[in-house]
Amino acid sequence: MYLISSSDFTEFNVDDAITNNTNTGTGYITQKISSSNVKVTVTTGGFISGDRIKNTSNTSSSANIISTAVLSGTPVTNYAYEDIVNESKRRIKILKPTYIDAIVNEFKKKLGE
C-alpha cells in the first residue's frame, strides 16, 4: 500500500481505479485522507514522484504525484496471490480406512437408502 501525495485529488474517491500515464502502474484508492493525500493499493507496476496519474472511470480527472511512501507489505501481483492460495489447497487429506464404513453408512442415511 502506498501513500500518494498530490494537490489534485479533489475529483478522486475511494475505490476509484487509477492508471499511471507516465510509467506503468495501476491501482485503486483505498482511503482518501484529504484532497492531497490518498492511500493506494497497487495492482501492477508502481507510482513514483513526478508521475501523472488519471482516474480510469473519469478520465478528465488527473493528478501529478508529488511524493510516494510505501506504508506496509510487499506488492504482489494477482497471479502470485492466486498461485499462493491455490498451492495452499494442494494438500489432500485422505481418510483412514477405519472411518470409511461409518461415512458410507451416514451418506446412505442422508440419501434415504
**pLDDT tens-place string over residues 21-41:** 888 889 999 999 988 899 998
Q: Would you say residue 69 has pLDDT above 70? A: yes
Rounded-to-integer distance, Cα 63 and Cα 52, Å: 6
pLDDT at position 89: 85
The DSSP 8-state label assigned to residue 84 in this structure reads H
pLDDT at position 70: 77
The DSSP 8-state label assigned to residue 75 in this structure reads -
pLDDT at position 72: 65
Where does residue 7 rank: exposed (0-12), middle (13-18), buried (19+ CB within 10 A)? exposed
Q: What percent of the chain has pLDDT over 90?
A: 30
Please state, as a whole number, how many other Cβ atoms lie within 10 Å of the Cβ of residue 62. Answer: 17
| Average pLDDT of the residues of the chain | 86
pLDDT at position 44: 86
pLDDT at position 17: 93
The DSSP 8-state label assigned to residue 62 in this structure reads E
Q: What percent of the chain has pLDDT over 70?
A: 96
Alpha helices in 1-113 (DSSP H): 78-88, 97-111
Q: Would you say residue 73 has pLDDT above 80? A: no
